[in-house]
């Protein structure tokens, strides 16, 4: 085997070994969703991350999961992960206590097109916990506000009690050149906001096709309808970016679990320009 | 609002995209401006109201009574429509409509609209096509809501 191949194999081995992090805080967002703040366990700081990237988090003795980073990319002291408790490993993760050890690999993957979006309007469309991977992009835009034009955040969730980051969304919505609209599928009488699917919010937004970059993350079926709606409003497919999700194992493009057409979600994604994946998007067998 | 103002307002309403000037004038002659205060019930489930509304400002919720509670189905705002069932043979309202904010709308008597459609088939076709767009959009939205796509099981 050539030396270069041996070196690559060795690197691969290292990349599969998690570094140890400590849980600094567990914050309850909703009845089933929590945000974990992780700090480095040793003296070495965490590597930086780019909005949209994820880490492989290992709950010792339980399992490993890909979780998107949901915090401010310029907070170098800790990394935030927003996790919905839906299975054995996520339940174990959100049940962590401050001081507990968690294994961490990464950050991995592609990122939101924040450079491409400079000087343009940014439209963020999120559904459910899909707001978590988009929050670092919003933080980044807020920190570099002069580099971007209007920011519009459209967020849909199942019910008012499923909305995450509510206070932060309200705060952002009060800022100039920023429009934040939330909607829920099922709303009671106490909910004063919008009721209906997230695509219903487009009528309240002044969209400038060819001068807007859209970043979309949520259930795939929601993203399909969002894309149809945006294309109908004249948005070019190349200006639509989406975050895709598939069952990941290695997180570095070796195992093939997350293959999506010619791409691996973990290595080539999770963020893709729509025109690069449109041939596979929405296909049943993928 | 004068007839001319009504026609200008109608021309800008998304529901009436593609309507000719003649059709807009016909609708303006049938329109009346209405206001609903915050919390006002525009119609109740089962009401025999035949009014169809084009919303200009504010926010309206369509609600239904489930045992022991009221469920909000959808909220509608400027540029949208309320009461499309007034153009169907039965005028009985299937939901109740509540104004969530100060709301301004243009109201049309569904019976007059139906007569106008029968008298002028081209106008009728244009109106029913616009109405079909609304119904199709509502149906698609309802299907998406029924999918419960944000649930972990989905």
Task: Please tell me the predicted confidence (pLDDT) of residue A279.
Answer: 84
3-state SS record for B77-125: CCCCEECHHHHCCCCCCCCEEEECCCEEEEEEEHHHHHHHHHHCHHHHH
Predicted local confidence at residue A286, as pLDDT = 65
pLDDT at B153: 60
| A10 pLDDT higher than 60 | no
Distance CA B144, CA A11 (A): 45
Residues of A whose CB is below 8 A from B73: 195
Give yes or no for a contact between B110 and B51, defined as CB atoms under 8 angstroms apart: yes
Q: Is A3 on the interface with B (CB under 8 A)?
A: no
A280 CB within 8 Å of a chain B CB: no
Q: What pLDDT does B104 receive?
A: 97
CA atoms within 13 A on the CB side of B16: 24
Q: Which residues contact A10 (CB under 8 A, 6 or more apart)?
A: none
pLDDT at A16: 83
**Interface mutation target, options B75, B97, B140, B154, chain A, most CBs of A under 10 Å:** B75
Higher pLDDT, B40 or A284: B40
Which tens digit of pLDDT belongs to each residue from A188-211?
888 888 999 999 999 889 899 999
pLDDT in tens, A211-261: 999 999 999 999 999 999 999 999 999 999 999 888 888 888 888 888 888
Question: Between chains, do A189 and B74 touch, taking CB under 8 Å as contact?
Answer: no
pLDDT of residue B85: 86
pLDDT of residue B56: 97
Residue A133 pLDDT exceeds 90: yes
User: What is the maximal distance between C-alpha atoms in chain B?
Assistant: 54
Question: Percentage of chain A with pLDDT > 70?
Answer: 94
Q: What is the pLDDT of residues B88-102, one digit of tens each?
A: 877 688 889 999 999
Q: Tell whether B139 is within 8 A of chain A (Cβ).
A: no
Look up the ipTM and state it.
0.84
What average pLDDT does chain A have? 90
Work out the pLDDT band at A5, boundaries 50, 70, 90.
Answer: very low
Least confidently predicted of A17-21, A237-241, B11-15, B149-153: B149-153
pTM value? 0.89
Distance CA B84, CA B140 (A): 16
Residue contact B149–A222, C-beta within 8 A:
yes
pLDDT at A184: 95
CB neighbours of residue B63 within 10 Å:
23
Under 8 Å between Cβ of A42 and A32:
no
**pLDDT of A12 over the 70 cut:** no
Q: Rounded to whole angstroms, how far apart are CA atoms A265 and A286?
A: 12
pLDDT digits (tens, 9 = 90+) for A40-87: 987 778 888 999 999 999 998 889 999 999 999 999 889 999 999 998
CA distances from A37 to A17, A63, A76, A96, B86 (A): 21, 19, 12, 11, 55
């Amino acid at each position: 085997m050539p030396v270069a191949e041996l070196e690559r194999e060795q690197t691969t081995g290292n990349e599969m070994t998690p570094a140890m992090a400590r849980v600094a805080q567990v914050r309850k967002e909703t009845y089933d969703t929590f945000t974990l703040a992780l700090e480095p366990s040793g003296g070495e700081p965490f590597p930086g991350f780019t909005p949209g990237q994820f880490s492989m988090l290992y709950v010792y003795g339980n399992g490993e999961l890909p979780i998107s980073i949901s915090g401010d990319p310029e907070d170098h002291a800790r990394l935030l992960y927003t996790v919905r408790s839906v299975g054995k490993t996520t339940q174990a993760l959100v049940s962590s206590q401050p001081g507990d050890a968690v294994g961490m690999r990464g950050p991995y993957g592609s990122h939101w097109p924040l450079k491409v979006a400079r000087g343009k309007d940014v439209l963020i469309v999120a559904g459910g916990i899909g707001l978590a991977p988009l929050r670092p992009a919003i933080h980044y835009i807020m920190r570099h506000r002069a580099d971007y034009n209007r920011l519009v955040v459209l967020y849909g969730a199942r019910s008012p009690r499923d909305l995450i980051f509510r206070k932060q969304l309200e705060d952002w919505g009060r800022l100039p050149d920023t429009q934040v609209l939330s909607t829920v599928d099922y709303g009671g009488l106490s909910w004063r906001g919008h009721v209906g699917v997230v695509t219903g919010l487009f009528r309240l937004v002044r969209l400038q096709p060819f001068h807007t970059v859209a970043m979309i993350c949520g259930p795939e079926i929601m993203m399909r309808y969002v894309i149809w709606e945006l294309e109908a409003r004249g948005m070019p497919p190349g200006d639509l970016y989406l975050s895709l999700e598939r069952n990941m194992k290695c997180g570095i493009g070796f195992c093939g679990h997350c293959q999506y057409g010619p791409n691996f979600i973990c290595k080539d994604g999770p963020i893709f320009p729509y025109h690069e994946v449109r041939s596979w998007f929405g296909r049943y067998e993928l | 609002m004068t007839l001319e103002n009504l026609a200008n307002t109608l021309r800008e309403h998304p529901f009436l995209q593609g309507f000719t000037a003649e059709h807009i004038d016909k609708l303006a002659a049938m329109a009346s401006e209405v206001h609903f205060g915050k919390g006002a019930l525009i119609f109740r489930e089962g009401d025999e109201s035949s009014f169809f509304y084009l919303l200009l400002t504010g926010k309206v919720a369509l609600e239904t009574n489930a045992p022991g509670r009221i469920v909000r189905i959808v909220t509608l705002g400027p540029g949208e429509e309320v009461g499309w069932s007034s153009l169907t043979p039965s005028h009985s309202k299937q939901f109740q409509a509540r104004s969530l904010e100060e709301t301004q709308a243009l109201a049309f008597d569904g019976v007059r609209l139906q007569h106008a459609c029968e008298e002028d088939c081209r106008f009728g076709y244009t109106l029913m096509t616009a109405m079909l767009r609304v119904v199709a959009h509502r149906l698609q939205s309802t299907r998406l809501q029924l999918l419960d796509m944000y649930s972990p099981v989905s």
